[in-house]
Structure 1
Amino acid sequence: MGIKSFQGARGPAKKEYDAPILVADHMTKKLITFHPDQSILEVMELFAKHSISGGPVLDDNGFLVGIISEGDCMKQIAESRYFNMPIVDKSVSKYMTPNVETISHDTSIFDAAGIFHKNNRRRLPVLRDGILVGQISRKDVVIAALKLSAQNYK
């Protein structure tokens, strides 16, 4: 004789997880951007003023051409010490990282976490159809994960 279930009627099936898990949902949209011809001293001042550690470099047409970070500025500071010269007013284009790894706006934060882990980046410019729409950082991904931790996700 088979076993009978005494649970009664079951409720509706659990709904699929629908919390925002895309990079576009958690990225910073209002960015401090820089220009290749901008002074590295001005960049350092903006880093301090806005409490940021890097940002995208855009050309005259608004296209992403690089990224500048505190680490890039450290090169300039180290060189000035090495050559016993004051920090000179050189342009961002000399110190920026030109080959920028980017991420698509419709990437999941889980995939973004994997990219951050694999490539040891602190921030990634976010593109939509080749246009810069924001930037996501490791901190943004951690905060997104904390918001999702109380949920079941697949």
Structure 2
Amino acid sequence: MAIKNYKQKEIDQNPPMEKKKVLDYMTSDLITFRLDTNVLDIADTLLEKRITGAPVLDDDGNLIGLIDDKDCLRIVVDTLYHNQPIVSHTAREYMSNVMKTVNIKTDILEVANIFLTTPYKRLLVVDDSGKLRGNISRRDILRAIHDMS
């Protein structure tokens, strides 16, 4: 049975935004790092690829953490303060284990609400088994909204 509004027109119970899934708008070609990646290589890659951070994976491809430009800055400050060589540090030491992930099947509207209620600008996307499949950003959500209009 269809729901009708006061003018007796049928109302779509599934607005277009709710039909769109993360899978439709996520970026799946990600730059990733390993636990033993040297921080100088990480900083070089972030600068070269013009990205602010990337996931860290173990040898089996499991998502372990996230390392970003702030982590790299922390490394530089720490090593300069303690007069240590930067090359001796790896992702394992400075990555963040606190990550927000969303499932690949999550509605775009739900992700939009996460972005509105948290400081996150980008979320990691995982499948049902927890494997990293990509990421989705605020910009991707704007693209989804644009496509609806």
Q: Does the pair score TM above 0.5?
A: yes
Q: Secondary structure at the match of 2:20?
A: coil
Question: Residue 75 of structure 1 corresponds to which residue in structure 2?
Answer: 74
Q: Which amino acid aligns with 1:76?
A: I
**RMSD of aligned C-alpha atoms?**
2.3
Question: Residue 32 of structure 1 corresponds to which residue in structure 2?
Answer: 31
Give the stretch that moved more between structures: 61-70 or 85-94.
85-94
Distance 1:72 1:147 in 2: 35
Q: Which amino acid aligns with 1:58?
A: L
Give the stretch that moved more between structures: 12-21 or 126-135.
12-21
Q: Which amino acid aligns with 2:71?
A: D
Q: Which amino acid aligns with 2:142?
A: V
Relative to structure 1, is the Cα distance of residues 143 and 95 closer, same or farther in structure 2, using a 3 angstrom cutoff? same
Q: Secondary structure at the match of 2:79?
A: helix
Q: Secondary structure at the match of 1:111?
A: helix
How many residue pairs get aligned? The number is 139
- The C-alpha deviation readout for 1:105-124, integer Å capped at 9, x for no partner, is 11122211221232211221
Distance 2:27 2:109 in 1: 17
Question: Residue 140 of structure 2 corresponds to which residue in structure 1?
Answer: 140
- The C-alpha deviation readout for 1:60-87, integer Å capped at 9, x for no partner, is 1111000111121111122234335553
**Alignment gaps of 5+ in structure 2:** 1-8
| TM-score (norm. length: structure 1) | 0.78
Question: Residue 3 of structure 2 corresponds to which residue in structure 1?
Answer: none
What percentage of residue pairs aligned between the two structures are identical?
35
Greater helix content? 2
Q: Which amino acid aligns with 1:106?
A: K
Give the stretch that moved more between structures: 95-104 or 19-28.
19-28
Larger radius of gyration: 1
Question: Residue 112 of structure 1 corresponds to which residue in structure 2?
Answer: 111
Cα shift at 1:25: 0.7
Distance 2:120 2:145 in 1: 18
**Alignment gaps of 5+ in structure 1:** 1-11
Give the stretch that moved more between structures: 28-37 or 107-116.
107-116
Q: Which amino acid aligns with 1:145?
A: I
Relative to structure 1, is the Cα distance of residues 146 and 82 closer, same or farther in structure 2, using a 3 angstrom cutoff? farther
| TM-score (norm. length: structure 2) | 0.81
